[in-house]
Amino acid sequence: MPREMRAVVIDCFGGPEVLSVRNVPVPEIKPEQILVQVESAGVGIWDLGEREGMVAKMLGIQPEFPWVLGSEGAGKIVAVGEKVSGFQIGDLVYGDIWATNPKAGFQAEYIALNAENAWPIPSKVSAEQAGALLIDGATALRGLDDTLGLKKGEKIMVFGASGGLGHLAIQLAKRLGARVFAVASGEDGVALALRLEAETAIDGHNNDIIDRAREFAPNGFDAGLVTVANEASEKALTAMAEGGRVAYPWVNQRPPPKGPTNIRLLGYNGNIDRALVLKLNKLIDDGTFEVHLGKTFVLDQVHDAYLALRSHHLGRLALLPAA
């Protein structure tokens, strides 16, 4: 094992100027941890919050610098702690360190990861894709299954369907037997949603969204998942059925969508646990599944990766430390 690794590091919280890529020691694992050689690390909006210090403040974490960024990722196990069972060297895993492992991060060549926060990569997904799967995948499934209780044959509107959470929600809703109407962003987003087997997909900026929605669900939608709340989503939710259920994630971090008074707005947080991820893996392995990486970057392009979070892109973004 090398003694040093390259990593995305900050020495204080702040804007893009605090990001640096440099050599730091390879972390030593504790008895309950595994050492993972990172092949892919997701880049999400939550990483901006971590870089700016909002996550540490929200979770009451006393910051210690240097701080390696990156909340989720995937790779190969290269060392196993003495108290770890169920994993061995060479296994491909994906996991997260959200609120569990301050200072450690996936945007590096190696990470010391608590074994309880790691899972085998689903067989239908590559390690590169798995690096950007866990947070959005688990959050999508939590909303569809636990919050909405989505049933076979129900009609669901997925708003924000070409984004990181939304494009996974299309596929998971189909696995649960629902009929999916996707509201995406741009012509490329519509094309992605259709490729992922949404029955109908429409650009959320189009004026005919209500006509298309009512054509798909004349009696209104049974359920909705809103990942982006704006004027377009407010308009789209008028197509819900009386008493229709609408879930929206990250209830503590963003305002709820606006909708008619005759629907149920259900906010939730995407808390990740073993049962949820095991179900996610099982659903993914039921057939073809795609974690769409709109763009990938090497570590030295980390500034470009964080900038891309604020621009139009499909699916997820990822850093590839092993590239």
Listed by start position, the domains of the chain span 4-133+291-319, 149-268
Question: What is the predicted pLDDT for the residue at 267?
Answer: 96
* CATH superfamily of the domain spanning 4-133+291-319: Medium-chain alcohol dehydrogenases, catalytic domain (3.90.180.10)
Predicted TM-score (pTM) of this structure: 0.96
32, pLDDT greater than 60: yes
If you average pLDDT over residues 38-42, what whole number do you get?
A: 98
323, pLDDT greater than 60: no
Please state, in angstroms and as integers, the Cα–Cα distance from residue 47 to each residue in 16, 213, 223, 245, 262, following that order.
11, 34, 30, 30, 36
**Band of the pLDDT at 100, cuts 50, 70, 90?**
low
99, pLDDT greater than 70: no
Averaged pLDDT of the chain: 94
Question: What is the predicted pLDDT for the residue at 64?
Answer: 83
**Band of the pLDDT at 224, cuts 50, 70, 90?**
very high
* Cβ atoms of residues 140 and 162 within 8 Å: no
Fold of the domain spanning 149-268 = Rossmann fold (3.40.50)
Helices 274-284 and 164-175 meet at what angle, rounded to 10?
A: 70
- Which of the residue ranges 6-15, 40-49, 251-260 would you say has the lowest mean pLDDT? 251-260
**Band of the pLDDT at 98, cuts 50, 70, 90?**
confident
Q: How far apart are CA 69 and CA 206, in angstroms?
A: 38
Question: What is the predicted pLDDT for the residue at 101?
Answer: 64
Question: What is the predicted pLDDT for the residue at 102?
Answer: 65
Judging by DSSP bridges, how do beta strands 92-96 and 72-80 pair with one another? antiparallel
* Cβ atoms of residues 4 and 25 within 8 Å: yes
Question: What is the predicted pLDDT for the residue at 60?
Answer: 83
Share of the chain above pLDDT 90, in %: 87
Question: What is the predicted pLDDT for the residue at 130?
Answer: 98
Which is more confident, 119 or 270?
119
**Band of the pLDDT at 177, cuts 50, 70, 90?**
very high
181, pLDDT greater than 90: yes
**Band of the pLDDT at 265, cuts 50, 70, 90?**
very high
138, pLDDT greater than 90: yes
If you average pLDDT over residues 147-174, what whole number do you get?
A: 98
Q: How far apart are CA 31 and CA 51, in angstroms?
A: 29
Question: What is the predicted pLDDT for the residue at 84?
Answer: 98
Distance of CA 273 to the CA centre of its chain: 15
